[in-house]
Structure formats: C-alpha cells, structure tokens
Amino acid sequence: MKGRILMVQGTMSHVGKSVLVAALCRILRQDGLRVAPFKAQNMALNSFVTPDGCEIGRAQAVQAEAAGVEPQAEMNPILLKPEADHRSQVVVMGRPVGSFTAKEYHEMKPRLLPVVLDALERLRSTFDVVVVEGAGSPVEVNLRAHDLANMGLAVRVGAPVLLVGDIDRGGVFAQLIGTLELLEPQERFLVKGLIINKFRGDKSLLSPGLQFLEQRAGIPVAGVIPYWEELALPAEDSVALEGVAQKRRHGVLDVAVVRLPHISNFDDVDPLGGEPGVGIRFVRAGEELAQPDLILVPGSKTTMADLAFLRTSGLAQAIIMAAAQGSAVVGICGGFQMLGLEIVDPDHVESEQPYATGLGLLPVVTIFQRNKITNQVEGEVVCDYGLLAGCRGLPFKGYEIHIGSSARLGVEAPFVLLRRSGEGCQVAEGALGGNGWILGTYVHGIFANDDLRRRILSNLALRKGVTLPKVKALRQDPHDRWAAVVRAHLDMGLIYRLLDDRV
C-alpha cells in the first residue's frame, strides 16, 4: 500500500509551515510511523548536502532529522537559489541544471512536474506517511498556471490540506478566509483544517474568532499553536533575519555577523547563539561593526556582488581595521573567498566580472569553476594556535557547497578532510592566518561541532580576559520539545482521521 499524504500550506511565506512539518514528522515518528518530509519546490539560500552529495533545502534536511531518516533528493526535487539580476539557480534532484529568469523557469514547470510526481511516489513507496510542505501562498493568481508546489500538486495527488495563518503578523482571519475565497472549488474541498500559528496571550480571548472562522469557512480549526520563544530549529530563509538584524544580544563575547545581501546558510551562526555568554548581532554597514571579538563573514550565493557590497557599505575597510586591531575573523564558504587576495572568474560562472580583489586578510586566491562541489565531509583539526589553540586532533563533521577552489599561498591549512560523501580522502582544507586569528573554511556546520566550537570560544574569552558562563546540562532534543508543544495544541484526532480517510 502506498504511503499516505498530509499537506501543510500557508497563507503566505514565513507563517511557520516548515517548523510545523518538522513537528508533525517527529510526532508521527514518535507514534511508530515511518515518515518523510517533502517539498516539491523550495526557494531558499539555506541548503544542505545529502549523504550522496545532492543539494536540497536546509528545511527539508531539518524535517528529515525530525523524522529520524537520512535526507535525500526526493524530499526536495526542485530547489531555487536566488541570484543577482532576478535570476535563480535551479537545482533538480540535487544537481544544478542552470541559471534562469523567473519567466524561463515558469516555462520549464510542465517539464518538471513529472520529476516532482516521481519523487513523491518514490517516497510513498518507502514510507507510511509523507508530510508535504507547500511554498509561499497557494493563491498567487499569476502563478497558478503550472503550479507544482501547492494546490496544483494537492489536486493531482488528492492530498488533504492544513492551511496555516500567522497571527503574530496580524490579520490572520483575513489571511485564512481570503485564501479560502480565492481557491477554486476543487481546491477548497481539499482544505480539511485551519491552523493559527504564533499565538501570544490568553486563548480564551480568541474563542469568538475561532467560532467565526469555523462558521464562515465550514472547516474546523485544527489548532492554535503558541508563539514559542525557545524554538531552536534553523530558519528556512533570510526573512527570519529581518527582526534579528536590528537587535543586539549582549554577552561577554561580542560576535558580529555580516548581513550580506545574498547571505546563504546563515544557520551556521545558530550554534554560536546558543552558547551562554555569547552575544550575536548582525551588521549591515561599516559604522555598525565597531571592535567585536569575532567577525563572521558567512556564505553567499553571489560572492562577487556581496564583496562589492562590503566595499560600498564601508564594511570592507571596517573589517580590515578591526582585524588589525585584534578582532578575530572567520569566513565560511563565500565569506572565506572574500577574505582572500583575489577571486578570478575566467568563464563568467557567477557574473560578468572576471576578477575582483578580496579583503586581503588571507593569502588565498580563488578561481571559480563550473562544477559545483557538494559533499558531506568529516575531518580533523591539524593546527594548534590562535583560534584553534588546543584543537589539534579534534574531529568535525559538516558539508561543503561551493563553486571554485581556493589556493593557499604560504599559509597553513587548519583542517584535513578524511571523508567526502562517504569516500576516504586526505585533503588539506581552509586557511589560517593573522597569527591564527583569521580563519577561512568551506565547511558549513563547522560550529555545530560542540568540542571545536567551545574550544574556539574559550580561546576568544582567554584572549579578551573574560570568563564564559558554564554550559548547562544537555537539554531535551529540540525536535522532541517542539513536537510536545505542537501535539498539545493540535487536534491529533483530526490529523489521524485525515491520514486514514481517502479524500
């Protein structure tokens, strides 16, 4: 028997579809079902590499983790990675197929629909339940033709739909009722439950609104999910940074993260923000930088354009001056490339600009190449000074997603990769300069390695002459904690009836 389907759609982007799918994956797994996530089309710069080297949306990797299964390309058959000039790189079944305008991609959709349906069928042949996440809003009327991510898919496969609205952003009743009103009759028939997400306050005060929703829509409210400050799952896209970028969290260590226009895989920052005593702030201009203990230059989808932004915003000179005065600097992926001497793009892989001068903080030259490198990696630290004092021999895991290679010019490689996509290797990785206080690496997730992260932070604290608070005892798995919140506020009886019934 084919696996059953449950679909979660939203009234707009960033209403919480991704994290609710993650919660449902964990709840169903806890209840003894084999479950997998699925998102036909994901537009995001946060991506992940599967064990076999395929690139998918980071959110689907998080959802797979919640489901207790390895991520695979079938869980996100189409990934769109926005680039400059209103184009996106299109990744199909984990491999890039080119860069296209929105119009060109829209014309491709009929050819991609069989890919989407085949990926979903393969998951259904393996798992008891597939929890499907929609994309954006299902009622973007200009995009309704050839829709393969929302109602177009739901109608084809007969998926019951839970429709989610975000009360924290206001107008949730208009969000939900307006979306239902714009659906075609066969689409509206598939909506079997409404969810209000990110609710703050006394639920009893919401009762008249819930009654109105059910009477007006003729559809039950399946749940009112509270706004949970402790939600610790990675965000899907940079919309989540809009509020954070304007706030500062104080700590004994000050970490400034450069808010690049095309920032990617910014969840590399999350493990640092979870450490006691570490303050994280995002900076957009040179005057905001000051003299932090650590400057983090994260990944970028368009390195050349973001390097130009560093200069026009004043951040380039501010970073160089802060490093000269004692700030440590870490560049990851595109950030690593920007810290070097120069970036060369002879084949115009990324832009029409064939050459750019880097910040000059690491003696490294990067040459862009057409082939994208995507691997899960394992390695160990081979340096023992500066940021990495006391780290020699520490193992780490992570993943790499980049174009181009970076050649070191008389500077030490801090890491050695021992496995790439499951195959043994011996590859020197990254660069360490500035007497050990400037680090560049292609390894995403480097700070997710607890021992390595805490040693780096301890070295920063020792250099500053401060003491970090002690790390608290390990808390419950964040997936379990979030699943418990959602289970307590979601009508699981309705969920199981939807899974048992054929729409």
Residue 490 DSSP label: B
Distance CA 402, CA 393 (A): 25
Percent of the chain with pLDDT over 70: 95
Give me the amino acid identity at 128. D
Per-residue confidence (pLDDT) for residue 490, from 0 to 100: 97
Answer whether CATH 3.40.630.30 is correct for domain 4-40+59-72+110-232+480-500: no
Superfamily of domain 253-464: Class I glutamine amidotransferase (GATase) domain (3.40.50.880)
Provide the whole-model pTM.
Answer: 0.89
Annotated catalytic residue within 262, 402, 444, 489:
444
Q: Name the segment(s) of the chain with CATH classification 3.40.50.880.
A: 253-464
What average pLDDT does the chain have? 93
Annotated catalytic residue within 333, 383, 391, 402:
333
Distance CA 436, CA 421 (A): 29
For 46-63, b/e burial (b = at least 16 CB within 10 A) is bbbbbeebbbbbbbbbbb
Q: Name the segment(s) of the chain with CATH classification 3.40.50.300.
A: 4-40+59-72+110-232+480-500
Per-residue confidence (pLDDT) for residue 243, from 0 to 100: 47
Q: Count CB atoms within 10 A of the CB of residue 473.
A: 5
Distance CA 361, CA 55 (A): 30
391 an active-site residue? no
List the chain residues with pLDDT less than 70: 84-85, 232, 234-249, 473-475, 502-503
Residues in the chain: 503
Distance CA 70, CA 132 (A): 17
Per-residue confidence (pLDDT) for residue 141, from 0 to 100: 86
444 an active-site residue? yes
Per-residue confidence (pLDDT) for residue 502, from 0 to 100: 54
Per-residue confidence (pLDDT) for residue 322, from 0 to 100: 98
